[in-house]
Amino acid sequence: MKKFENSVKQIIRVNHAGEYGAQKIYNGQIKFCKNSKLKKKLERISSEEKVHFDYFDEQIIKQRVRPTLMSPLWNILGTTLGVVSSRLGEDYVNACTESVEEVIVEHYKKQINFFKSQKINNELKRKIEKFCKEENDHREDAINSKSKKDSFGLKVFKRFTKLGTKAAIEISKRI
């Protein structure tokens, strides 16, 4: 039972950190976005991500989970990623969303499978399933919104963004 409790605490901590990072990325993008249509879309996505963050923030308190100690760094890196992608243009904003959300969807699916393997169908599992679907919607929208062909620069940017997102997940699980 203790191992399950620790796994749940880790899930809450890392998801809280991830949604915090998402807020920083989207807010950085919104602040420097010049395209009003894209800005409106980013504001909508950010408001959905805020709901995710608020849920995990509530769980941090309710479940007495220590948040990641990395939040100050995630603040800086998330904001920087948002600002840089926004300054590079719409294709980079969409590549950023596609890359981050692809990793998050995969991450949430692993958590859902963990709950299924434990035969647990609680509120946390249901919320993660809902959030996973919304994150996948963001990813699909980004894919459909960007130019059809990725340039070399976009490919490098996406790879870098995915690696950074995966690293943030692993670090937030532990620290």
Read off the pLDDT of residues 15-41 as tens digits, 9 standing for 90 and up.
999 999 999 999 999 999 888 998 999
What is the distance between the alpha carbons of residues 100 and 168, in angstroms, rounded to a whole number?
A: 11
The residues near 99 (Cβ < 8 Å, ≥ 6 apart) are 157, 158, 159, 161, 162, 165
Judge whether residue 1 has pLDDT over 60.
Answer: no
Average pLDDT of the chain, as a whole number: 89
Give the number of C-alpha atoms closer than 13 A to the C-alpha of residue 142, restricted to the C-beta side: 24
Residues of the chain above pLDDT 70, percent: 95
Domain extent for 90: 2-174
The count of structural domains within the chain is 1
Averaged pLDDT for residues 111-126: 83
- Give the confidence band of 9 by pLDDT, cuts at 50, 70, 90: confident
Per-residue pLDDT at 3 exceeds 70: no
- Contacts with 100 (C-beta within 8 Å, 6 or more apart), sequence order: 22, 25, 161, 162, 165
Query: What token pair was written down for 157?
Result: 């940017």
Using the predicted structure, report yes or no on whether residue 67 has a pLDDT greater than 80: yes
Q: Report the amino acid identity of residue 28.
A: G
Q: What is the pLDDT of residues 123-138, one digit of tens each?
A: 888 899 999 999 999 8
The Cα 95–Cα 81 span in angstroms is 11
143-156 confidence digits (pLDDT tens): 888 776 778 888 89
Q: With the C-alpha atoms ordered 151, 152, 153, 156, is the resulting torsion angle positive or negative?
A: positive
4 has a pLDDT exceeding 70: no
Q: Give the pLDDT confidence score for residue 78 in this predicted structure.
A: 93
CATH of the domain at 44: 1.20.1260
User: For residue 164, which of 89, 96, 83 has the smallest C-alpha distance?
Assistant: 96
